[in-house]
Amino acid sequence: MNIFSILQFLSLVILAYFFIISIFYFFTFLLSFKGLITHKIRSNFSTPREILNAKITPPISVLAPAYNEEKSIVTSVNSLLNLEYGQYEVIVINDGSRDNTLEVLIKEFDLAKTSRNTNPQIPTKKISDIYKSRKYDNLVVVDKENGGKADSLNAGINVSMYPLFCCIDADSILEKTSLLKIVHPFMEAYTSVVATGGIVRVANGCIYQNRPYPLVRTSDKLLVNIQVVEYFRAFLSGRMALTMMDCNMIISGAFGLFKKQPVIDIGGYKEGVVGEDMELVVRLHHEMRKKKQPCGIYFIPDTVCWTEVPESLKILSRQRNRWHRGLAESLTMHIGILMNPKYGTVGLIGMPYFFFVEFMSPIVELAGYIIFVTSFYLKAIDILTFSAFFILAVAFGLVHSLLALLMEEVTYHRYPKIKDLLKLMASAVVEHFGYRQYMAIVRAKGIFDWLIGNKSWGLMERIGIK
C-alpha cells in the first residue's frame, strides 16, 4: 500500500464521517422543528400569567455564584429580585471575591448577618457568614472561602430552602417570565422531571435598560453575529432534538432548574472540573438511569437567558478551549454510558453524538484539511475532487445554519428587523471561510490542553449588558 492509497483511504473516511454527520443533522432538524412548533402551540394554552396564579407552582431557590462582580452584581441581583414568580428566594454566593462584591451587596441591599440553618448535605469550603436583606425578604447572601463555581453552587444548595433550585450566572439576565416558563414541566410531571434548561441568547447589541424584554438587535461585530448563529444551531436545533429523543445531556450553567434531592443524592456539583454544568447532567443520567429512576431533562426553548458573548477572538478562543476541555472531562468520566443500551437513548444516541460529533469533530476536521491539502499537493486527488469536497463541506454547513435561522424565524422571530436577518445570514456564510477552521484549531487545542491536565478557567472580559 503506497502513500497515495493511504491518503485516498483517509480522505474517504473523512468524507464518510461528514456525510453521516450531515444526515444526522438533517434528522435533528426535523425533530427539533416538530418539537419547537409543538412547544410553541402548547405554551399558548399555559401562559406565564396562569402559571403565576396557580397554587401548585413549586417554590424555587435561585442560586447566583459571584466572584469579583462588584461592577455588575447590583444590576444582576435587582433583575433577579424583579422576576415574576410566586414564592422564590435569591441566594447570592460570594465565592471569596477579592474585590468589594460583598461590601457592595451589604450596602445596596442592607444586609445583616443571620445564622440560617445550612443543612450541609454536600461538603463545601467553609461558609464565613450568611446575610439576609432587611430590604428584601427573599434575598440571602452567602459569604464563603474561594472554591470555584461548583463549590459555590453546592454551598448555595446547602443553604437553599426550597425543593427546586435554579442556577444562573451572575452576569446573565433572565427575562421576567423565565422562571414561570422553566418550571412548567415540573408542574406537569413533578415525579419524572429532574432538570430543565432554557435557551441562552446573545445580549451583545441588544438594549435591555428598564425593559421587561430587551430590544433585540444584532451586533455591529461579525464575530458576535457568527456566535448568534452558532447559539441557534446549538440550542434550537441540537438541544431541542436531544430533548425530543429524551437524551439531552447539557443544561447550560447560565440558566437551569434542578430538583434538589436527586442532585444532593449524587453529591452535588463536582469540584475540580471545568465543565461542571454538563458533568452534573451526565452524572444525573448515569446514576439515575443505572437505578432505573425517571430522569427527565428537558430544554425549554422559550425560556430566555441573555448573556454577553466574547467580542474578541482571543477571549472567544479561551472560552471555546474551556468548553471543549469541559466536554472532554464530562464524556470521559462517564464513558461507561457510551453505546450502552442500559442507558436508553442517552447511551445509544446522546453520548455517541457528543463523543463522535461534538468531541471528535475538530480533530477529524483538522485532519481532513491536512489530508486533502497534502493529497492535492501530492496529486493523489485532482483539483475537481478537492473543490468538490470543499464546496460540499461549506454547502452542508451553510444549509445547517440556514435551517437553524429558519427555525428561529418560524417560531420565536426575536430579531424583528429584516436587516438583522440579512446580517445573520451573511454571518452564516462568512463563518465558513476562516472562522470555522480557526475554531477547529482552538477546540483541538482544547483536547490537547485537557490531555496535559490544564484546568485553567481563563479571564473573560465583559463590556456589560446595555
Partner 1 sequence: MLFKLITEFLNDYITNATVILFIIISVLTLILIIIKFSYIFWQNYILKVNSWMKPIFEEYIKNPNNTGILPFYYLLFPNSSILHKYIVFRSFSETGKNFELTAEAYNALKFHKVDLRNLNSIFWWKRAEAARCLGQMRYKKAKPFLIEKLNDPVVEVRLIAAWSLGRIGDTDTILPSMEALVNASRLAGMRLSSTVFEIGEKAIPVLSETLQHSDPAVRLLALHLLGEMRAVESIPVIKNKTVIDEDKEVRIAAYKSLGTISHPSSLSILIEGLKDVLWEVRAQSARGLGIIGSDEVIEPLVSALEDQKWWVRRNAGEALFKLGIKGKASLKQVLEKSCSEHARDMALQWLNEYI
Residues found near partner 1 in the complex (CB under 8 A): 5, 8-9, 11-12, 15, 41-42, 44-46, 50-51, 53-56, 112, 114-117, 119, 132, 134, 187-190, 381-382, 384-385, 387-389, 391-392, 395-396, 398-399, 402-403, 405-406, 409-410, 413, 416, 418, 421, 425
**Whose Cβ is closer to partner 1: residue 51's or residue 254's?**
51
- Exposure on the CB side of residue 239, measured as CA atoms within 13 A: 22
Q: Name the H helices within 44-140.
A: 48-53, 73-81, 101-109
Question: Closest approach of Cβ 367 to partner 1, in Å?
Answer: 16
CB of 78 to partner 1, least distance (A): 21
- CA–CA gap between residue 20 and residue 9 (Å, rounded): 17
User: Quick check: 163 and 59 in contact, CB under 8 A?
Assistant: yes
Pairwise CA distance, residues 143 & 43, whole Å = 39
d(CA 157, CA 433): 45
In whole angstroms, the minimum distance from the beta carbon of 398 to partner 1 comes to: 6
User: Residue 28: which of 232, 198, 302 has the closest Cα?
Assistant: 232
Instruction: Name residues whose C-beta falls within 8 Å of residue 157's C-beta, 6 or more positions apart in sequence.
Output: 63, 121, 122, 165, 260, 263, 264, 268
Distance of alpha carbon 223 from alpha carbon 229, whole angstroms: 10
Residue 434 CA to residue 381 CA, distance in Å, equals 23
For partner 1, give the closer residue by CB, 161 or 349: 161
Q: Return the number of the residue (78 or 114) whose C-beta is nearest partner 1.
A: 114
Q: Give me the residue label for grid cell 475540580.
A: 272
* Of 406 and 447, CB closest to partner 1: 406
Alpha-carbon distances of 100 from 72, 123, 145, 153, 170, rounded to whole Å: 11, 26, 14, 20, 15
Angle among Cα 49, 55, 58 to the nearest 5 degrees reads 90
Rounded to a whole number of angstroms, the minimum distance from the CB of residue 191 to partner 1 is 9
Of 395 and 463, CB closest to partner 1:
395
CB of 46 to partner 1, least distance (A): 7
- Give least dist CB 24 to partner 1, A: 17
Q: Could you tell me the smallest distance in angstroms from the CB atom of residue 392 to partner 1?
A: 7
Pairing of strands 88-95, 111-114: unpaired
For partner 1, which is the closer residue by CB, 207 or 410? 410
Tell the smallest beta-carbon distance from residue 233 to partner 1 (Å). Answer: 14
Cell digits of residue 82: 424583579
CA-wise closest residue to 101 among 131, 134, 123, 136? 131
Smallest gap from residue 96 Cβ to partner 1 (A): 23
Q: 190 — phi, psi (to 5°)? A: -60, -40
